[in-house]
Amino acid sequence: MSSRWGPPLTKLFLVAVCVLNHLSLEQIVSVYDVSTSECIKLLLELDRIRFLQLLPDNRIKLLVTRNFAWRANGPILQYVKAKGDFGLFWLAI
């Protein structure tokens, strides 16, 4: 992952939102422009920060609570508001 604020962060966020909505690795890869290997790398990054646990056979166990919410004025919401792109984000709030 090159830059923490460039396109890789956008893809990491995309995968995080997909996982919050209970999409499998196969579903993420089939719907979005993310290869299987890239998706696994992103899932491993989310595993590293304890957002999820990547299990054998690429199964995903979400480690955040069911009532997880982004911070109201936190960096994620500020980023989305600055970009003005709420297309996918509404699924995660």
Mean pLDDT per segment of 10 residues, for the chain of length 93 residues? 53 89 94 94 93 96 83 74 60 47
Confidence at residue 87, expressed as pLDDT on a 0 to 100 scale: 57
Query: Does 1 map to a domain?
Result: no
For residue 71, the one-letter residue type is R
Report the domain count for the chain: 1
Confidence at residue 3, expressed as pLDDT on a 0 to 100 scale: 44
- Total-model pTM: 0.73
Query: Which residue is associated with the tokens 């709420």?
Result: 86
Query: Does 63 map to a domain?
Result: yes
42: containing domain: 7-67
CATH code of 15's domain: 1.10.10
Query: Which residue is associated with the tokens 């600055």?
Result: 82
